[in-house]
């Protein structure tokens, strides 16, 4: 039985969402190509921003030709469909339990054979909590590769928007970090809490304020999100020679 | 004097003493009758006889020493290589017959004269260095090959101190330190009268690239045709590729010049360079040279247009980019006309989609056009697709990857004509329960879907492939060949191929093929199957010969009739099994359609073989290699012998060779015997013969004995003793 408060909340949320909803792309109306698959792990807090998907998918569909789904899939490393997820999302605030050797092996195989992981430390505390646990795990999973800041000419900064700085709910790093294997960066990592900036409640209100930059910083977070998703589908496409003169001209 | 006594010495001394005593007794008896002087004479005669007889018992002998001088044997080499079979300018006989006449003709022929003085051995220098008897000389014929003269002399130096060579100078000679025997050369053939034009050399690159100019350096040589202008023709089979006029400036001239052309088709090309025969030419077989040139692509150029960023694009891009033989230009539609941009252009990385340039101007520069879930109708009108149809009709390749945005929109466009599937114009994209894929009977043996050489393994491999979520439900045209189809409920074609004009077309009616990559990785079986599938797909579409599991690699130069011809055969290991299973066989068919004997041997590396055969006839020979997983056939031109023969007498070369061995070059006008004489005696060797003579066996000893006895008898008779 639905309560009066619940009924009003639902009705108001529906109205706001209809009002805020942008024009639907006519083209890819059929079925989704993109969805967030969020990794649920043991210990810590695996889901710090449970409402981050909706606004990001709307923005994605509004700005790009990618067809997305607002349905978030929660997964583990033992999920048999893990290897079919276009983007594995992992977020957290606190230190989590170490992965088992089997989990590490699966993640290593996933990352070294074309899988893509976007991870976020939503607290942004360098060397503590989630940051420390995640870096430790990456060292164990890909010991020969370092998680480090991506250079300004990395494809993720130009896959859709030409980005010079990374926004977010907070501004810990103006850049993304990543682990690069040959020409492909299967691991992207941010401590700016991008998903915190994307989070919107069911009434259409932003869940978090972006500090210190306010709404431009949120806008920047959405651009970074779109670039990350486009990058996960196009890899280093923007490094092709055909793009060079255009990008160079616009950056000057 | 020496010798071993017949009797022991003591016995001889006793006999001597007895003899001496008998003579003294005789002397005493005779002196009383004939007086002292006559007794002495008779006693001395008897003593002489006794001493002589006793000396026989001592076995006296003498040693005679005699010095002898021996002449070293001589080797006469008769060049029987190919050019020695050429007619002399009089046209009456060959150079070889001329050489034979030089040896045999005349009352005091060179061979007879030499044989009278010294031991002479005859050798034919042709296929091999072969000794022969004088009686065989008239039967000698010119052969097609020649051994190295320096090697031949190396062999002869142990037995001979001198070699005499009769040749026109067309010999193999590797200059070595002169440690062998001196060589006297006697030239045959007339350098001044020889007339010929020939293709001396054709230099080709080891590989040529389709669409890129190939330069072939041709060297023409001529003797006796100063001022002549010759047309030089470069042909591919019977098709003329290039013609060029060359003018010969000097009597003996050599010209090198390039002939260039642009190969249009990949594969093995049988080319020839030829010049027409001229009046009075000594040899016309060397007026053409046949050779093979393998034409490959420099890179397979692919234009890929994707309707949106997708996993299909990323994995296909990765597979294409990983292949160094592929040059990929891709355009991904990042935003559609219905998308809203919230930033100025300076903040976007988007670039314009150059429709006009790509489809009207640049398309011909690509080998493969790939539409990946690309809905053209948002970017250009259907007329722009007309060049796509022309591109395929003229030999280009086209592939369409499925997805929610395609196929239905192409109904009624030029692309519909070239696709091997029927378009309904209705929404055909299906995303429901995953569909398994299975090989069709055609797909089981098609190069694209034959990922493993083992048929059963290949079927198992496709059965293991993950199911597909998104599939375009299409019907194949009657001309289309379905290689993969959905395995449940209704059979929908997943992979369909076809031909249109000179080009090939492929439809992959799913945007989920990337799952064949990640799905197999998830199963721990690696990504090779997907990568190989994409590679084979591209190579089949672009008609790349490297896709063939069996390849015959022909020799660079055409084979020659009567000579062993070899080809290399490679089996491409297309699966994970270490060795191809089954038996491989080689067959060769001559221009008359008859199968000729051939041999096939394995070489070191696995999957590599060498085939050989002896063609007897000129013309195209078909070489076929059959294996359990496919066969391949190539043609090889076999030319008549003498194609590369420069038959001009090389007398200066003979002069150089003989000088380097310490020998001499003689001309036909020289007194050959006189010139050879100093060399014949130079290396004579001497020895002393010792002969032992026993005196008793000499007749004069018997005569002395008889003389002594007769004289004694006569004197006794005269003096009245008898």
The upper half-sphere exposure of residue A164, i.e. CA atoms within 13 Å in the direction of its Cβ, equals: 6
Section B164-192 average pLDDT: 81
For A176-194, how does the pLDDT look when each residue is reduced to its tens digit (9 = 90+)? 999 999 889 999 999 999 9
Supply the pLDDT for residue B449.
93
Nearest CB to B429; choose among A30, A66, A234: A30
Supply the pLDDT for residue B89.
64
CA distances from B713 to A131, B43, B409, B716 (A): 151, 12, 154, 5
Strand B214-223 relative to strand B252-261, pairing: antiparallel
Whole-angstrom Cα distance, residue A170 to residue A208? 10
Put residue B500 in one of left, alpha, beta given phi > 0 → left and psi -120 to 50 → alpha: beta
Task: Give contacts of A184 with chain B, Cβ < 8 Å.
Answer: 318
Reported as a pLDDT band with limits 50, 70 and 90, residue B4 is: confident
Nearest CB to A234; choose among B309, B341, B515: B309
Supply the pLDDT for residue A10.
40
Kind plus residue range of the DSSP H or E element containing B416: helix B414-418
**What's the residue count for chain A?**
252
| Alpha carbon of A15: minimum distance to chain B alpha carbons (Å) | 22
Task: Give contacts of A247 with chain B, Cβ < 8 Å.
Answer: 349
Q: Is B525 on the interface with A (CB under 8 A)?
A: no
Is residue B659 predicted with pLDDT exceeding 50?
A: yes
Q: What is the DSSP letter of B712?
A: H
Mutate to test the interface with A, among B308, B316, B377 (most CBs of A within 10 A): B308
What average pLDDT does chain B have?
A: 85
Per the CB < 8 A criterion, the answer to whether A118 and A227 are in contact is no
Supply the pLDDT for residue B694.
78
Strand A184-190 relative to strand B120-125, pairing: unpaired
Mutate to test the interface with B, among A20, A26, A29, A33 (most CBs of B within 10 A): A33
Supply the pLDDT for residue A31.
42
| Alpha carbon of B517: minimum distance to chain A alpha carbons (Å) | 9
Q: What percent of chain B has pLDDT over 70?
A: 93
Q: Is B355 on the interface with A (CB under 8 A)?
A: no
Whole-angstrom Cα distance, residue B495 to residue B506? 7
| Model pTM score | 0.62
Supply the pLDDT for residue B537.
95
Task: Give contacts of A155 with chain B, Cβ < 8 Å.
Answer: none
Reported as a pLDDT band with limits 50, 70 and 90, residue A84 is: very high
Task: Give contacts of A185 with chain B, Cβ < 8 Å.
Answer: none
Task: Give contacts of A63 with chain B, Cβ < 8 Å.
Answer: 335, 339-342
Whole-angstrom Cα distance, residue B319 to residue B305? 15
Q: Which of A157-161, B70-74, B158-162, B206-210 has the lowest mean pLDDT?
A: B70-74
B residues 415..454 contacting A (CB < 8 A): 427, 429, 431
Task: Give contacts of A154 with chain B, Cβ < 8 Å.
Answer: none
For B542-597, how does the pLDDT look when each residue is reduced to its tens digit (9 = 90+)? 988 777 777 888 887 778 888 889 988 887 654 334 344 557 889 999 888 899 99
More confident residue, B425 or B170: B170
Is A28–B346 a contact, with Cβ atoms under 8 angstroms apart? Answer: no
More confident residue, B676 or B14: B14
Supply the pLDDT for residue B604.
65
Nearest CB to A27; choose among B309, B336, B521: B336
Section B228-244 average pLDDT: 92
Per the CB < 8 A criterion, the answer to whether B309 and A230 are in contact is yes
Q: What percent of chain B has pLDDT over 90?
A: 30
Is residue A4 predicted with pLDDT exceeding 50?
A: no
Q: Is B522 on the interface with A (CB under 8 A)?
A: yes
Supply the pLDDT for residue B540.
93
Strand B368-372 relative to strand B300-306, pairing: parallel
Nearest CB to B518; choose among A83, A232, A243: A83
B residues 364..423 contacting A (CB < 8 A): 375, 378, 404-405
Is residue B628 predicted with pLDDT exceeding 90?
A: no
Whole-angstrom Cα distance, residue B627 to residue B609? 12
Is residue B686 predicted with pLDDT exceeding 80?
A: no
Reported as a pLDDT band with limits 50, 70 and 90, residue A27 is: very low
For B582-592, how does the pLDDT look when each residue is reduced to its tens digit (9 = 90+)? 578 899 998 88
Q: What does the block give as tokens for A110?
A: 């996933």
Highest mean pLDDT among A103-107, B6-10, B61-65, B621-625: A103-107
* Helix, coil or strand: residue B266: coil
Is B317–A234 a contact, with Cβ atoms under 8 angstroms apart? Answer: yes
Per the CB < 8 A criterion, the answer to whether A130 and A192 are in contact is no
Q: What does the block give as tokens for A91?
A: 């977020």
More confident residue, B250 or B485: B485
What is the strand order of the sheet B608-613 is part of?
B550-553, B565-571, B608-613, B598-602
DSSP E strands in B417-521: the ranges are 421-422, 429-435, 437-439, 468-472, 475-476, 481-486, 493-500, 503-508
Reported as a pLDDT band with limits 50, 70 and 90, residue A223 is: very high
| Alpha carbon of A38: minimum distance to chain B alpha carbons (Å) | 18
More confident residue, B127 or B497: B497
Reported as a pLDDT band with limits 50, 70 and 90, residue B257 is: very high
Whole-angstrom Cα distance, residue B164 to residue A60? 94
Nearest CB to B346; choose among A26, A65, A250: A250
Helix axes A53-63 and A215-234, enclosed angle (nearest 10): 70
Q: Is B322 on the interface with A (CB under 8 A)?
A: no
Is A33–B311 a contact, with Cβ atoms under 8 angstroms apart? Answer: yes
Supply the pLDDT for residue B178.
53
Q: What percent of chain A has pLDDT over 90?
A: 79
| Alpha carbon of A5: minimum distance to chain B alpha carbons (Å) | 36
Is residue B193 predicted with pLDDT exceeding 70?
A: yes
Is residue B285 predicted with pLDDT exceeding 80?
A: yes
Supply the pLDDT for residue B181.
82
Whole-angstrom Cα distance, residue B153 to residue B163? 8
CA distances from A213 to A124, A209, A221, B228, B302 (A): 16, 9, 11, 89, 45
Question: Beta-carbon neighbour count of residue B236 at 10 Å?
Answer: 18
Per the CB < 8 A criterion, the answer to whether B639 and B618 are in contact is yes
Is A162–B346 a contact, with Cβ atoms under 8 angstroms apart? Answer: yes
Supply the pLDDT for residue A22.
35
Is B470–A31 a contact, with Cβ atoms under 8 angstroms apart? Answer: yes
Kind plus residue range of the DSSP H or E element containing B289: strand B288-296
Is residue A215 predicted with pLDDT exceeding 80?
A: yes
Is the omega angle on the peptide bond into residue A54 within 30 degrees of 0, that is, cis?
Answer: no
CA distances from B300 to B365, B514, B574 (A): 10, 22, 20
Nearest CB to B310; choose among A33, A158, A159: A33
Report ipTM (2 d.p.): 0.87
Reported as a pLDDT band with limits 50, 70 and 90, residue B683 is: low
For B500-515, how does the pLDDT look when each residue is reduced to its tens digit (9 = 90+)? 999 999 999 999 999 9
Nearest CB to A65; choose among B333, B515, B527: B333
Task: Give contacts of A77 with chain B, Cβ < 8 Å.
Answer: none
Per the CB < 8 A criterion, the answer to whether B263 and B295 are in contact is yes
Environment class of residue B535 by beta-carbon count within 10 Å: exposed (0-12), middle (13-18) or buried (19+)? buried
Task: Give contacts of B327 with chain A, Cβ < 8 Å.
Answer: none
Q: Which of A67-76, B181-190, B367-376 has the lowest mean pLDDT?
A: B181-190
Section A147-163 average pLDDT: 95
Q: Which of A233-247, B145-159, B262-276 has the lowest mean pLDDT?
A: B145-159
Q: Which of A53-67, B224-238, B319-333, B561-575 has the lowest mean pLDDT?
A: B561-575
Per the CB < 8 A criterion, the answer to whether B599 and B647 are in contact is no
Return all residues near B10 (Cβ < 8 A) that are at least 6 apart: none
Task: Give contacts of B307 with chain A, Cβ < 8 Å.
Answer: 65
Per the CB < 8 A criterion, the answer to whether A228 and A64 are in contact is no
Supply the pLDDT for residue B577.
40
Q: How many CB pairs under 8 A join A and B?
A: 137
Nearest CB to A230; choose among B309, B519, B527: B309
Reported as a pLDDT band with limits 50, 70 and 90, residue A42 is: very high
Is B314–A232 a contact, with Cβ atoms under 8 angstroms apart? Answer: yes
Is residue A9 predicted with pLDDT exceeding 60?
A: no
Is residue B145 predicted with pLDDT exceeding 80?
A: no
* Helix, coil or strand: residue A248: helix
Supply the pLDDT for residue A32.
57
Smallest CA–CA distance from B347 into chain A, residue? A162
| Alpha carbon of A37: minimum distance to chain B alpha carbons (Å) | 15
More confident residue, B400 or B626: B400
B401 φ, ψ (degrees, to nearest 5): -100, 135
Is residue B623 predicted with pLDDT exceeding 50?
A: yes
Reported as a pLDDT band with limits 50, 70 and 90, residue B629 is: low
Return all residues near A212 (Cβ < 8 A) that are at least 6 apart: A171
The DSSP-derived string for B340-355 is ---S-GGGB------H
Whole-angstrom Cα distance, residue A145 to residue B605? 37
Spatial CA neighbour of B294 closest among B545, B615, B542: B545
Q: Which of A65-69, B89-93, B139-143 has the lowest mean pLDDT?
A: B89-93
Task: Give contacts of B405 with chain A, Cβ < 8 Å.
Answer: 27-28
Supply the pLDDT for residue B682.
65
Nearest CB to A28; choose among B347, B405, B522: B405
Tell me the sheet residues that pair with A34.
A68
Supply the pLDDT for residue A13.
36
For B426-459, how does the pLDDT look when each residue is reduced to its tens digit (9 = 90+)? 777 877 777 889 999 999 888 899 888 788 889 9
Question: Beta-carbon neighbour count of residue A193 at 10 Å?
Answer: 28
Highest mean pLDDT among A248-252, B76-80, B421-425: B76-80
Task: Give contacts of B331 with chain A, Cβ < 8 Å.
Answer: 242
């Amino acid at each position: 039985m639905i309560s009066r408060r619940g009924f009003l909340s639902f009705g108001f949320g529906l109205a706001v969402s209809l009002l805020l909803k942008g024009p639907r792309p006519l083209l890819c109306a059929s079925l989704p190509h993109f969805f967030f698959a969020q990794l649920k792990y043991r210990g810590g807090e695996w889901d710090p921003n449970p409402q981050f998907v909706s606004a990001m998918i709307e923005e994605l569909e509004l700005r790009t030709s990618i067809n997305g789904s607002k349905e978030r899939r929660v997964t583990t490393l033992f999920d048999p469909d893990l290897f079919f997820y276009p983007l594995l999302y992992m977020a957290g605030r606190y230190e989590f339990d170490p992965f088992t050797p089997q989990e590490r092996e699966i993640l290593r195989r996933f990352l070294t054979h074309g899988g893509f992981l976007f991870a976020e430390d939503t607290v942004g505390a360098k060397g503590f909590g989630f940051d420390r646990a995640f870096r430790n795990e990456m060292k164990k999973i890909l010991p020969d590769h370092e998680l480090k800041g991506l250079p300004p000419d990395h494809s993720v900064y130009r896959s859709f928007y030409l980005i010079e700085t990374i926004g977010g709910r907070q501004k810990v790093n103006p850049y993304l970090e990543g682990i690069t294997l040959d020409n492909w960066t299967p691991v992207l990592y941010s401590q700016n809490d991008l998903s915190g900036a994307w989070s919107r409640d069911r009434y259409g209100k932003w869940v978090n304020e972006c500090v210190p930059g306010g709404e431009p910083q949120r806008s920047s977070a959405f651009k970074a999100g779109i670039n990350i998703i486009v990058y996960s589908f196009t890899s280093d496409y923007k490094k092709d020679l055909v793009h060079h003169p255009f990008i160079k001209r616009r950056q000057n | 004097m020496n010798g071993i006594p017949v009797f022991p010495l003591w016995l001889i001394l006793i006999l001597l003493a007895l003899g001496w005593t008998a003579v003294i007794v005789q002397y005493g008896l005779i002196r009383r009758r004939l007086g002292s002087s006559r007794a002495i004479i008779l006693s001395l005669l008897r003593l002489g006889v006794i001493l002589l007889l006793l000396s026989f018992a001592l076995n006296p002998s003498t040693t005679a020493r005699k010095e002898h001088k021996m002449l070293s044997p001589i080797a006469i080499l008769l060049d029987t290589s190919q050019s020695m079979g050429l007619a002399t300018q009089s046209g009456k006989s060959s150079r070889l017959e001329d050489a034979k006449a030089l040896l045999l003709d005349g009352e005091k022929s060179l061979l007879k004269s030499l044989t009278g003085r010294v031991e002479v051995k005859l050798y034919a220098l042709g296929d091999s260095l072969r000794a022969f008897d004088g009686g065989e000389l008239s039967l000698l014929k010119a052969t097609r090959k020649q051994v190295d003269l320096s090697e031949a002399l190396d062999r002869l130096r142990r037995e001979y101190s001198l070699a005499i060579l009769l040749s026109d100078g067309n010999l193999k000679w590797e200059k070595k330190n002169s440690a062998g025997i001196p060589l006297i050369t006697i030239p045959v053939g007339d350098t001044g009268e020889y007339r010929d034009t020939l293709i001396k050399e054709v230099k080709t690159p080891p590989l040529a690239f389709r669409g890129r100019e190939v330069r072939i350096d041709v060297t023409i040589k001529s003797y006796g045709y100063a001022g002549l202008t010759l047309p030089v023709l470069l042909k591919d089979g019977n098709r003329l590729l290039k013609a060029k006029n060359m003018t010969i400036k000097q009597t003996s001239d050599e010209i090198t010049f390039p002939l260039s052309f642009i190969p249009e088709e990949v594969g093995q090309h049988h080319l020839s360079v030829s010049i027409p025969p001229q009046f009075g030419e000594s040899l016309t077989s060397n007026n053409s040279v046949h050779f093979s040139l393998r034409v490959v692509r420099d890179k397979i150029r692919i234009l890929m247009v994707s309707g949106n960023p997708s996993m299909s694009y990323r994995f296909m891009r990765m597979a294409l980019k990983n292949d160094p033989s592929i040059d990929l230009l891709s355009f991904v539609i990042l935003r559609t006309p219905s998308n809203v941009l919230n930033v100025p252009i300076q903040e976007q990385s988007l670039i314009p989609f150059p429709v006009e340039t790509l489809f009207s101007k640049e398309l011909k520069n690509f080998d493969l056009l790939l539409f990946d879930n690309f809905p053209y109708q948002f970017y250009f009108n259907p007329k722009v697709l007309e060049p796509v149809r022309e591109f395929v009709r003229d030999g280009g390749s086209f592939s369409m990857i499925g997805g929610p945005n395609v196929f239905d929109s192409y109904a009624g466009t030029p692309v519909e004509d070239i696709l091997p599937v029927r378009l309904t114009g209705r929404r055909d994209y299906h995303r429901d329960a995953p569909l398994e894929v299975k090989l069709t009977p055609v797909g089981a043996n098609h190069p694209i879907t034959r990922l493993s050489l083992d048929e059963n393994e290949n079927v198992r491999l496709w059965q293991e492939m993950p199911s597909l979520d998104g599939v375009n439900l299409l019907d194949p045209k009657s001309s289309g060949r379905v290689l993969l189809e959905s395995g449940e409920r209704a059979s929908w074609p997943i992979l369909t191929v076809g031909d249109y004009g000179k080009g090939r077309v492929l439809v992959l009616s799913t945007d989920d093929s990337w799952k064949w990559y990640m799905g197999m990785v998830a199963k721990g079986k690696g990504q090779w199957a997907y990568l190989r599938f994409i590679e084979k797909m591209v190579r089949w579409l672009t008609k790349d010969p490297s896709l063939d599991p069996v390849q015959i690699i022909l020799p660079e130069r055409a084979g020659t009739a009567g000579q062993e011809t070899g080809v290399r055969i490679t089996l491409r290991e297309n699966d994970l099994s270490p060795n191809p299973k089954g038996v491989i066989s080689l067959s060769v068919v001559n221009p008359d359609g008859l199968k000729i004997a051939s041999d096939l041997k394995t070489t070191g590396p696995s999957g590599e073989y060498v085939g050989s055969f002896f063609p007897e006839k000129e013309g195209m020979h078909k070489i076929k290699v059959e294996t359990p997983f496919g066969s391949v056939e190539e043609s090889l031109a076999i030319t008549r012998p003498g194609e590369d023969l420069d038959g001009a007498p090389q007398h200066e070369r003979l002069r150089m060779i003989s000088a380097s061995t310490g020998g001499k070059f003689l001309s036909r006008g020289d007194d050959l015997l006189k010139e050879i004489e100093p060399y014949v005696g130079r290396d004579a060797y001497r020895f002393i013969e010792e002969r032992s003579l026993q005196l008793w066996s000499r007749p004069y000893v018997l005569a002395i004995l008889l003389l002594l006895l007769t004289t004694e008898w006569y004197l006794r008779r005269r003096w009245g003793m008898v």
